[in-house]
Structure 1
Amino acid sequence: MPLIQSLAVGLLACAVHCLAPAALADSSQPGPFAVSQRTVTITRASGTTFTAQIRYPASSAAANAPFATAAAPAPAITFGHGFLSAVDLYDSTMDHLASHGYIVIATTSEGSLLPNHANFALDIRQCLTWLEQQNALATSWLVGDVNTAAFGVSGHSMGGGASALAAAADPRIKCLATLAAAETNPSAAAAATSIQRPSCFITAAQDAIVAPSSTLTEYNNCDAPRQFVSIAGGSHCGFVDSAIIACDSGTLPRPDQLAKTRSLLLDWFDAHLRFQPRAFTAAWGAGTPIAGTTTTRDARTTLTLGASALSGAAGAKPLETTITITNIGPDSTAFVLRASSSPFDVSFVPANIAELAAGQSATATVRVGSSAAGNASIVIDVVRGRDAAGASAALAVNFTAPPAGPADLDHNGVVDAADLATLQNSWGKCAGCAADFDHNGVVDAADLAVLLSGWS
C-alpha cells in the first residue's frame, strides 16, 4: 500500500482521538478560538506580488494577534472571491472556519471588470505555497503552525469556478467546496474532469445570477467523490454578508443561508481534512440533513450488506453478515470499516480492506455481539483511505434474552407457567421433545423436577 494511503488509514482509525478540536453538534455555531486577521503580501513565481487576507485562530481577536498554539498544526483553506466582490464580503464564513481552527487565506487579486480566471486560480494556489513557506521559515509568525498535508480550497461564483481550476491542477489540495460556482475561462466544467479529490458543489435554488444547472455540469464532470447541494430559497448573493450592486435575492433570509453554508463547509472540511467521524456522518453517512437542503451524493464507493437485519440470543455466538465494498474509482484506495453508532460490540473481519483498484470489490464480515437483550439500528461506515469519503448502511440488530437454562422452553429468559404448560402438553412418551430433559424418551416426573428446580 502506498505510504500516503497507509497514513490515511492510520489517521482514520484513530480519527476522533488524534485530531482536534472536536466539532460542535451544531456546526453552524462559532468554534472555540478567537479569530484574528492579517493582510499579507505574496510573491508569484514571476516575481510580481499580490495581497491576501488571512484569518486564523489566535490568542485574541486583535488584529495581527499571535497564532493560537492549541490549534497547531492547523489545516488551511484558500478561498476565491466572486466577481467584483471584495474579500470582506465573506468575513462571516471565513471567520467561522478560523474559529474552528482553520487558517483561511483569500487573495484580493483579479477584482477588476476584466479578471483573468487562469491567473486567479494560480493566485489561489500560490496562497498555499506562501503558507508552506511561512510554515518552514524560522522567523515567521506561522512557523510550525500549518498542517501542509491538509489543504482545501473554496470560493464563491467566479472564485468557485477558479477554485475548481485550482483543485484540478494542484495535488496539494485534498478537497474542494464551491459556493454557486460559475463557469470560467478556461472552463471550470472541463477542468472538473481532472479533479481527483472529494468535491462539494453548493448551490442556491433561487440563484438568478449563476443558474444551479451551470454548477451541476461541473458536478457531473467531476470524476471523484462528489456532492451537489441545493439550498432551498437561497440566492446567489445570499452567500455574501451584505448586498452589492446587481444582487439577487431569494425567499430564504441571508442569515439563514449563511448559517447553512457555515454548517456545510465545516462538515465537509472536517470530514476530509481532519477525518472526524462526526463530520463524516454529517457529510457522507446517516446524519440528519441540514434543514432546507437537498444533497445528491456519489462517494465513488458502494456498500452492500448481506442482510439488513440480524436477530439472536444475547450472550451466545455473535451475529454476523457480510459487507461487500466496491471502489468505483477513479483511483485505487484502501478502506476503513467502522461502526459509527452502536450500543453493541462490533468487529470486522478483516478489520480493514486492502487497496482496491477502480472497479474492484472485496467482502468482509461484520460481527455483532451483546451480553444483554436489546435492539438498535447500527450504522456501518466504509471510509476511503485515499480521501476520507465513503458510504454508510444501517443494520437492524435484535438480541433476545438468553435462555434461563434448558427448562426455559420458550426462550424468553425465565422459567414460568408457559414452560410448565409446554411440559404438561408433552407428558408421556415423547421422543425428541424439548421437555424431555434427561433424553429418555419420556416426559415424566424427573423432567418436571428439572423444570421446577429452575423456576424463576
Structure 2
Amino acid sequence: MASKPKDLLEELSHRGPHEVVRGNLALAGLPGVVFTPRSGLGLPGIAFGHGWLQPPGRYRELLSHLASWGVVAAAPSTQRGPLPSHRIFAADLRSTLDVVTGVRLGAGGLSVDPAKLGLAGHSVGGGAAVLAAADDPRIKAVATIAAAQTMPPATKAARGISVPGLHLAAKGDLVAPAIGNAEAIAKAWGGPVQLRILDKSTHLAVTEGSHWSQRLLQGKPQRRTQRLVRALFTAFFLTHLTGTDKYRPLLDADVKRAAIEFDPSLEEEAA
C-alpha cells in the first residue's frame, strides 16, 4: 500500500539512514564543501548554488540532510561578491559535478554515477542552476528555492530544459517575488515542472544560522521552511535520480504550507 503524502513528508523531514561525512572541494581546486554518505557506489549527486552574498555554510543542514538519504551534495563557494557573474557561477556548478564524479571521494568506497546528476540552488544560485542545466546534458533534475532572475535570463534558459524541475517560492519574498521569478521560470520550463508556494516564508527562510547579509536582505532563517525544503528536495531527487517511486505521492500532493501552484501534468490528469 502506498504511503500517504503526510507520512512521507514526516519520514523525509528526519535524517536518513546514512552516516554523513563532510569534505572540502578545495582539495580538488574548487573552493566549497561536499557532504557525502560514509560509503556507497553509484550514488546520485547534486551541485547546489548559494544565494546572493551567502556562504555555503548557511545550507549545511540541507546538504547534510540530502547526504543522509544517499545523495552526494556539493556547493561551490564562488561568486559571493555583490556583483556575481551568473554565467561563471553556472560554470562553477557544472565544474562541481565534474569534481564529484571524477575525483576520488572518501577512502575509495564511495562514487557518484555520472548518469544520476542534478542541480539545485537558492536565490541567484537557483537561477544559476537553471543556466547550468540548460548547457549540461548530464543533468536529470533541477530544484530551486526562491530562484532569482539572472543575466542571461533564467526564464529563457528554462525553455530549453526537458528534465523535471521543482521550484519552491516564498509567499512573502520581497527580494525574489514568486510571480516575477519562480513562476516565470516554471511557466517557461520545457519539461515536467512543478511550482509550490511556501506560505509564511521569506527570502532567507531556507538559510541557517546568522550572517551579516541579513541586514541587507529580507527575512531570517525559519525552521518550518527549512523542514519543508529538505523533505521536498529529498523526495524530488530520490524520485528523479534513483528511479524510486516511493516518494512520488508526496510530489503529487498539496502539503501544509507548500501548496502546488502550477503543475501541468496534474492539470492534465484532472481534465
Q: 1:268 aligns with which of 232, 236, 243?
A: 236
Cα 1:190–1:32, aligned 2, differ >3 Å: closer, same or farther? Answer: same
Amino acid at match of 2:234: L
Following superposition, the deviation at residue 144 of structure 1 comes to 5.7
List runs of 5+ in structure 2 lacking aligned partners: 3-7
Once residues 270 and 54 of structure 2 are traced to their aligned partners in structure 1, the CA distance between those partners, rounded to angstroms, is 46
1:384 aligned residue:
none
Cα 1:112–1:267, aligned 2, differ >3 Å: closer, same or farther? Answer: same
Cα 1:83–1:24, aligned 2, differ >3 Å: closer, same or farther? Answer: closer
Cα 1:260–1:144, aligned 2, differ >3 Å: closer, same or farther? Answer: closer
Cα 1:300–1:141, aligned 2, differ >3 Å: closer, same or farther? Answer: farther
Give the SS at the match of 2:200: coil
* CA deviation string 1:307-326 (max 9, x = no partner): xxxxxxxxxxxxxxxxxxxx
1:410 aligned residue:
none
1:190 aligned residue:
156
Once residues 142 and 134 of structure 1 are traced to their aligned partners in structure 2, the CA distance between those partners, rounded to angstroms, is 10
2:175 is aligned with 1:209 = yes
1:237 aligned residue:
204
Once residues 219 and 303 of structure 1 are traced to their aligned partners in structure 2, the CA distance between those partners, rounded to angstroms, is 19
Once residues 142 and 232 of structure 1 are traced to their aligned partners in structure 2, the CA distance between those partners, rounded to angstroms, is 43
1:318 aligned residue:
none
List runs of 5+ in structure 1 lacking aligned partners: 1-15, 17-22, 44-48, 59-67, 306-456
2:36 is aligned with 1:56 = yes
Once residues 277 and 302 of structure 1 are traced to their aligned partners in structure 2, the CA distance between those partners, rounded to angstroms, is 20
1:421 aligned residue:
none
Structure with more strand by fraction: 1
Amino acid at match of 1:233: K
2:255 aligned residue:
290
Give the SS at the match of 2:92: helix
1:26 aligned residue:
11
Once residues 109 and 125 of structure 2 are traced to their aligned partners in structure 1, the CA distance between those partners, rounded to angstroms, is 28
Amino acid at match of 1:274: T
Kept in 1, the 8 Å contact 2:25–2:76? The answer is no
| Structure-to-structure mapping, 1:63-74, within 5 angstroms | 68=39, 71-74=40-43
| Structure-to-structure mapping, 1:70-81, within 5 angstroms | 71-81=40-50
Once residues 300 and 204 of structure 1 are traced to their aligned partners in structure 2, the CA distance between those partners, rounded to angstroms, is 21
Amino acid at match of 1:246: L
Following superposition, the deviation at residue 275 of structure 1 comes to 1.8
* CA deviation string 1:323-351 (max 9, x = no partner): xxxxxxxxxxxxxxxxxxxxxxxxxxxxx
Kept in 1, the 8 Å contact 2:41–2:109? The answer is no
Cα 1:156–1:169, aligned 2, differ >3 Å: closer, same or farther? Answer: same
2:223 is aligned with 1:255 = yes
Give the SS at the match of 1:182: coil
Give the SS at the match of 1:260: helix
Amino acid at match of 1:82: G
1:227 aligned residue:
194
Of structures 1 and 2, the one with the larger relative CO (CA 8 A, separation 6+) is 2
Kept in 2, the 8 Å contact 1:151–1:175? The answer is yes
Following superposition, the deviation at residue 242 of structure 1 comes to 2.7
2:148 is aligned with 1:177 = no
Structure with more helix by fraction: 2
Give the SS at the match of 2:159: helix
Following superposition, the deviation at residue 140 of structure 1 comes to 7.1
Higher CA-based Rg = 1
Kept in 2, the 8 Å contact 1:79–1:105? The answer is yes
Once residues 242 and 143 of structure 1 are traced to their aligned partners in structure 2, the CA distance between those partners, rounded to angstroms, is 32
* CA deviation string 1:60-110 (max 9, x = no partner): xxxxxxxx2xx3221101000011100000011111101111100110011
Amino acid at match of 1:207: D
1:94 aligned residue:
63
Cα 1:206–1:304, aligned 2, differ >3 Å: closer, same or farther? Answer: closer
Q: What do you get for the CA RMSD once the two structures are aligned?
A: 2.4
Give the SS at the match of 2:26: strand
| Structure-to-structure mapping, 1:364-379, within 5 angstroms | none
Once residues 267 and 114 of structure 2 are traced to their aligned partners in structure 1, the CA distance between those partners, rounded to angstroms, is 27
Q: 1:41 aligns with which of 26, 32, 40?
A: 26
